[in-house]
Amino acid sequence: MINRGDLVQFLRVYSFQPATAFWRAVEVPVLRQFLPTQGICLDLGCGDGKLTAIAFGDPLAPGLTLVGVDVDADETLQAARRSLYTRIHTCPAAQIPEPALSFDCILSNSVLEHIPEIEPTLASVANLLKPGGHFLFTVPTEGFHQALAGPLNPRITRETYLLEMDRRLAHFRYWGAGEWRDHLAAHGLEVVRMVEYFDPAEVRRWENISRLTAGILYALGRRQHAPIQVQKKLGLRQAQNALTLPAWFAAGLAALLSAGMRPASGPQAGLLIVARRQA
């Protein structure tokens, strides 16, 4: 279930992305249970580093070193301004300029679903991990589609709505446990733990928040540009990087966004996987 304290923290730093803040507050409490506390860890898809700082805590635990990588130069520029990372690379996930067998852990939070060709990335992960090292990641599953309430406009079919949602979110896959297990095994990565999270009530709450935020931005971009690109054009992303919401305001907003939340049964929309590189 969503963590109110995490939601407040994410709302403070994602002041123009309340739907993103909500999603992060659902997944990070699950992710945090498996985060490494020592060794060298690659943050694959580190973005601006805000999520990592909240998930791990800043400063990091003694003995833990983080290396960041992201394809977006604007994001890595922001991440480089933090003290979290020893070094940061701006490059695709399949072309990370690090030595083979150099990481104890590779972390990827809600990133793999955005990569069109996933096999080169999985091969890169396997190459970079030390034998016995762990690949920890979160991804949405088909349960995400199933939990969505769907279009408000009765003239729009559910199929069209889901296709448009995937286009806006840049989601390329919703693999289940079996598919991930098979694809990871092909690269010498053995699944050792799986945890489902993100229940239907949380998905629908996220959906309603998103309709009024990223959904509007996407419409403003004539459905040709991702919300983040529209944010950049409007200067919202830049303002967000310079702005932290007051704690009292974020707390009030968190209470509003999470009001009346109750656990709901049904397929879970998110999957956390821990895989180990075989010797």
Cα 149 to the center of its chain, rounded Å: 21
pLDDT tens digits for range 21-71: 999 999 999 999 999 999 999 999 999 999 999 999 988 999 999 999 999
For strands 64-70 and 39-44, give the pairing.
Answer: parallel
CATH superfamily of 4-277: Vaccinia Virus protein VP39 (3.40.50.150)
Given a cut of 90, is residue 279 above it in pLDDT? no
Higher-pLDDT residue of 227, 88: 88
Q: Which residue bears the tokens 């966004």?
A: 257
Q: What is the length of the chain? A: 279
pLDDT tens digits for range 89-146: 999 999 999 999 999 999 999 999 999 999 999 999 999 999 999 999 999 999 999 9
Report percent pLDDT > 90 for the chain: 80
Query: Average model confidence (pLDDT) for the chain?
Result: 92
Q: Would you kindly state where each structural domain of the chain is located, as residue ranges?
A: 4-277
Given a cut of 80, is residue 224 above it in pLDDT? no
